Amino acid sequence: MNAPDSRLVLDLAELRQELLPLVGGKNAALGELLRELAHAGVRVPPGFALTTAAWRAHLAAAGLETRIAQRMTGLDVADVRALAAAGSEIRGWIACAPLLQQVATAAREAYADLGRRCGEADTDVAVRSSATAEDLPEASFAGQQETFLNVRGWPALERAIRDCFASLYTDRAIAYRASRGIEHASVALSVGVQKMVRSDLACAGVIFTLDTESGFRDVVLITGAWGLGEAIVQGRVNPDEYWVHKPTLAAGHSALLRRELGTKALRIVYGPGTARTVSEERVPLEDRARFVLGEGEVLQLARWAVAIEEHFSRRAGAPTPMDIEWAKDGRSGELWILQARPETVHARAGPRMELFELTGKGRILVRGKSVGSRIGCGPVRVVHSVAELERFQPGEVLVAEMTDPDWEPVLRRASAVVTDQGGRTCHAAIVSREAGVPCVVGTGTATSVLADGLEVTVSCAAGAEGHVYEGRVPFRREEIDLATLPRPRVPLLVNLADPDQAFRLAALPCAGVGLLRIEFLVTNWIGIHPMACAHPERVEDLSARAEVLRRSSHAGSPAEFFVERLASGVAVIAAAFHPRPVIVRFSDFKTSEYARLLGGAGFEPEEANPMLGFRGASRYYDERYRDGFALECAALRRVRERMGLTNVRVMIPFCRTLGEGRAVLAEMARNGLVRGEGGLEVWVMCEIPNNVVLAAEFSALFDGFSIGSNDLTQLALGVDRDSPLLAHVFDERDPGVKRLIESVVRTAHEHGRPVGICGQAPSDHPEFAEWLAALGIDSISLTPDSLPDVARRLAERQTEGSG
């Protein structure tokens, strides 16, 4: 909003306002926005705004400008008591001052007109604030001022307007402006009055047009929960989460990459009174167990969010990620956009990457959702209310059921923040991100498990799940300047199978993903044996069968659960690196590993030597696993065809013979994955000596080779790679192993096939990577942490060679 209009009340209907009153600028700019959003089909409730002119007139008429300036002089915002006293006094002055007659008359008439348009007198409205300095590109003022919901009737609205004016001087707003060097007198307030959307009868949430934890720009993150959206903003619930890929959405694909079910234990609804009251209630178990949005609704919100982002980016002359609130009306079923502001944390981030890693071990006390990727240590301070904030000392780990915006000055002095409730878009998460403080939300038990004075380590460095460890666990921090990291001639890729790390690691200057192991996703994202999902009726252990059905209940069937989860994990990684290639290897569990999965024991034979047994390609066309392989194929088809992520290539592991290769290709074709169709490339792992001996013949079947140096070394040297007794013999740099690698590179190139390597050797031995580059290998895939050093080393050798 922030409209520098000389009028006191601005009826945005004259600007074709069926849209958003809480985005700002001059009237012409606002009109342009409304026309653009109307063209995009975006729905935003009607309303009107009290301009900053009304705010300034309110202060001037009450003679408050000088009094406020004097009261603020010399205030130490670090003194919690002094801050609270000053804020309370100033807010009292502003809220108790009557509205100017002309402001009150104009607002009352606008409210009456809004009621006529909505078909009801004393219609329910939301009263929202927007400050002239609010939501600058370098600072987030989210939650600094107040919002009042379910306001009915002119007396309640008049009071809400004055309270909204007064909220420019909440304790948190005063402290935040002081920390940012913003003069209090330079900030003014406008108030938006917006028809309520009855999301108390449906759902609401928050949208970010980037990934909040990594800053990755090509996704839209949507959160949602039952009831009014304040439950999410305040961190009262653990919401559902949805990620949508912008490029494939724009191309017309169903680009919902991932969805995660939140607990959504409570919701905020209209209270029993007739005006300005809301209350909390428990959500029925059956509603907690289902998602608040369907896929079509998620995609619709994502398209609207992209349209809003594109508008603000054009106005700013630079990419401008957005923080947006949405709601669904339970009476009409319609979706609405309520407000939007620029995202401020990652928007200002430079081309640098921080890598945190625990170097020691500790006992995990609580788990929750991680915010950011940092690690922090310190003594615990459990805080139950704002009255207890005085006890907090800088450097402590703040632990609370949830945080309140008034706690903001303290949050920024914490070494870490841990909450029982909340999701990744709640107040604690937003403030922690901006302050660079590690934060774990939604733990459920932190305030009961962690006690004052207990030394803990809070880690957000392991992906989506954050951990709180007992004691001070050693860790290391590395900062990489991505802009100066060299790019050697041989393309470097990464080995990656953790979707939670994908958006962050995609910033590395690499050529794609050289190895995505499906078995990692099966273990960590699904946890159920593929055949148990294909045939739950064949799971003999009744308790295991019941658990399979319970875990997959929201998906409709265990088979659909497996396909959705596997497709989701692959899609997140493929989207992160899009359009760079991502090579997905079909599952390569050994029978002993498969048997440990839920429901797996009855599907796996016992083998004396699983390493050389029923694994890899041999499983895919065998009746004992054929239906499980069909689920793997279905997931990859969904990623490529439905989601549009055609940068996915597939790879066959442990393919012993040419006949086996043909059988697997035929099985893939029966499941809709045909080599060459839609540009599908099928690669094969080169990890058996027979792959080297028959490289020419394998070249006729497959589009490329990826050397698995671990198995190739094991089979070339006759060494069990897992045996500690023979660890001194196992060495990928052995002359015999290197000769095999030389042979397959030479033969494959003679037949026009590329060769990469995805084994561990070049990550552990940089000199081995140098040898591979000199050999003329087409790509080297590395562990992400080793890529920077290998890139520098290869670049140095190139410079020396050309010198």
* Residues belonging to the active site: 427, 758
What is the per-residue burial (b if ≥16 Cβ within 10 Å, else e) of 588-611? Answer: bbbbebbbebbbbbebbeeeeebe
For residue 525, give the DSSP letter. I
Query: Locate tokens 């919701």: which residue?
Result: 267
Distance (Å, rounded) from C-alpha 204 to C-alpha 226? 6
Q: Count of CB atoms within 10 A of residue 121's CB?
A: 12
Distance (Å, rounded) from C-alpha 129 to C-alpha 192? 6
Helices (H) and strands (E) in the chain, counts: 30, 30
The pair of three-digit structure tokens given for residue 566, joined into one six-digit string: 């596997």
Distance (Å, rounded) from C-alpha 255 to C-alpha 205? 20
Distance (Å, rounded) from C-alpha 300 to C-alpha 284? 27
Report the alpha-carbon angle 325-271-201, nearest 5: 50
DSSP 184-214: GGG--EEEEEEEPP-GGGSEEEEEESS-TTT
Radius of gyration (C-alpha) of the chain in whole angstroms: 29
Distance (Å, rounded) from C-alpha 394 to C-alpha 378? 10
Per the CB < 8 A criterion, the answer to whether 118 and 103 are in contact is no
Distance (Å, rounded) from C-alpha 306 to C-alpha 228? 23
Distance (Å, rounded) from C-alpha 650 to C-alpha 669? 13
Report the alpha-carbon angle 547-549-552, nearest 5: 105
Q: 3-class DSSP state for residue 93?
A: helix
Phi-psi domain of 150 (left: phi exceeds 0; alpha: psi -120 through 50; beta: other):
left
Distance (Å, rounded) from C-alpha 632 to C-alpha 730? 33
